[in-house]
Amino acid sequence: MNALLEKLTSGDVRSAARLIRMIDDNQPAAWDALKQLFPHTRRARVIGVTGPPGAGKSTLTSCLIESARQRSMSVGVLAVDPSSPMSGGAILGDRIRMNRHTLDEEVFIRSLASRGHFGGITPATRGAIRVLDAMGKDVIIVETVGVGQDEVDIARLADTTVIVWVPGLGDDIQAMKAGILEVADIFVVNKAEHPDTEATSNYLRSVFKQEKNTSGIPRDWMPPVVETVATKSKGIDDLWDVLDRHREYTAGASDYFVSRKRKACRVELENFVHQGLSEKFSTRFAANGLLDEQAALITSGEADIYAVAERLLAEIR
């Protein structure tokens, strides 16, 4: 393992790929490796790119890779695909547009499954970010298909969270307001050749003016709205300008920013502990077939899920 970590921290692609695979498979040795990598991390700039399906996130990510390379920054990309906890299956999206970067050695692209009962993209993704960081990547882009929870998860991991929106999306923006308010650092309105672009951009700007601040610490960063046409590489320089402004802002470590970061970190710490606990007890109950037996009784209506859950919890305590 030490040899692997040594190669990894000097930038070796195959070691990085191997460790990410170990993390994705949830191997106990990976957990130890991640702890050992700690001194080599916290250098990369982590950019989260999230938004609803069809918003053009992959194309935008591809544009960001290209301009980062033009600025001589090395790039790591993690594409987090939703997968089904029912089968534990993972799919690696065929990210055609990203393929043109695969011959560039300074660009490292990996797909990760978003496994786990809780749909949490956090634990494996955080591990993979740490690996790319320790490898020496300057910029790490984490792309997720997100609505609601996923956006919040990505915001915990990223230094800057970019929400990719498109003109004319329906009522749901209303329902998603609270989540977006708290996690968005930058809005991109992609496909900005659409006639509804201006109205959508204005709406996004207005949302923050109406925000009720419950944290007690005044907001000192208003998420800017950048309009892009990723398929034509339009607006990407504007996006970098805003990304750089946000980086300067975070470097200033304002009270607002630090308090948000701490809150996010606390939630993630809880997630880690819960995951550890859950794995322990799942293993225990799964071993004796108890869960399958009870699930069959609940399905047939012979037992009540609330009563069964209570009994299992009582057994643990």
Per CB under 8 A, contacts with its own copies among 238-257 are none
Q: How far is the CB of 272 from its own copies (least distance, A)?
A: 4
Q: Measured between alpha carbons, how far is 129 from 38 in angstroms, rounded to an integer? A: 12
Span interacting with its own copies, options 2-10, 18-26, 88-96, 236-244, rule CB under 8 A: 88-96
What part of residues 161-220 is at the interface with its own copies (CB under 8 A)? 168-179, 181-183, 214-215
- 61 sits near its own copies (criterion: CB under 8 A): no
Q: Is 261 in the site for its own copies (CB under 8 A)?
A: yes
d(CA 276, CA 278): 5
In the bound state with its own copies, the residue whose beta carbon lies nearer, of 81 and 106, is 81
Residues near its own copies (CB under 8 A), total: 98
188 three-state secondary structure = strand
Collapse the DSSP code of 114 into the 3-class scheme (helix H, G, I; strand E, B; otherwise coil) and give the result.
strand
> Applying CB under 8 A, does 29 fall inside the site for its own copies?
no
Alpha-carbon span 230 to 234, nearest angstrom = 6
Contacts of 54 (CB under 8 A, 6+ apart): 166
Distance CA 111, CA 303 (A): 41
Tell me the C-alpha to C-alpha distance, in Å, between residue 25 and each of 30, 115, 128, 142, 273. 9, 10, 12, 19, 18
Count helices and strands (H / E) in the chain. Answer: 12, 7
Report the nearest approach of its own copies to the CB of residue 143 (Å): 10
* Minimum CB distance to its own copies smaller for 70 or for 299: 299
Among positions 52, 76, 223, 235, the unique one binding its own copies when judged by CB under 8 A: 52
User: According to CB under 8 A, which one of 15, 48, 95, 188 is a site residue for its own copies?
Assistant: 95
User: What residue type is 296 in one-letter code?
Assistant: A
- Spatial separation of the C-alpha atoms in residues 52 and 173, rounded to whole Å: 11
Distance CA 263, CA 249 (A): 18
Minimal distance in Å, beta carbon 155 to its own copies? 8
CB-nearer residue toward its own copies: 21 or 280 = 280
Q: Which of 13, 222, 251, 258 binds its own copies (CB under 8 A)?
A: 258
Going residue by residue from 97 to 126, which x/- string records binding to its own copies, judged by CB under 8 A? -----------------x--xxxx-----x
Query: Which residues have C-beta within 8 Å of that of residue 228, sequence separation ≥ 6?
Result: 60, 63, 188, 189, 190, 192, 234, 235, 236, 238, 239
End-to-end CA, the chain: 37
170: phi then psi, degrees, rounded to nearest 5: -70, -155
Minimal distance in Å, beta carbon 17 to its own copies?
20
Residue 74 or 200: the one with the smaller Cβ distance to its own copies is 200
Q: Which of 29, 217, 251, 269 lies at the binding interface for its own copies (CB under 8 A)?
A: 269
2 binds its own copies (CB under 8 A): no
Give the nearer residue to its own copies in terms of CB position, either 94 or 248: 94
Listed ranges 4-12, 16-24, 218-226, 272-280: which one lies at the site for its own copies (CB under 8 A): 272-280
